[in-house]
Amino acid sequence: MVGGILNYIERSETPREAAAYARQELREGDEMLKTIFTIGVVALLGLFALKLIGVLFFPLIGLAVKILVIGLVVYGVMLVVAPGAARALKDKVNSPRRY
């Protein structure tokens, strides 16, 4: 037991060295907290950006889908009522464009 104490005393640092190691360990812990905090801030910014994009673009996407559905219904009615007009419309849409 005495030998263990002597080894400890020989290896022990001065209070100044121990304080330096404590500051270094605190800095390493701060790095981890800084990383966690940064990840949290980036996640919150991402959620805010998604909400902003959703508020701006989802109504436009909804409007585009409504227009497409109405166009599909009109084309379907044209196929039943006036197949010649539907075929002419299809040819006009699918024809190569000349500029």
In the structure encoding, which two tokens stand for residue 64, read together? 């585009």
C-beta separation of 89 from 78 below 8 A: yes
* Of 3 and 40, the one with more pLDDT: 40
Q: Tokens standing for 77?
A: 């009615």
Per-residue pLDDT reduced to its tens digit, 46-66: 999 989 888 888 888 889 999
At 24 the pLDDT is 59
To 10 degrees, the CA torsion angle through 89, 93, 96, 97?
110
pTM over 0.75: no
Q: Give the pair of three-digit tokens for residue 95.
A: 């024809």
Could you give the CA distance from residue 92 to residue 95 in angstroms, rounded to a whole number?
Answer: 5
Other C-beta atoms lying within 10 Å of the C-beta of residue 79: 14
Residue with tokens 């009109």, as numbered in its chain:
74
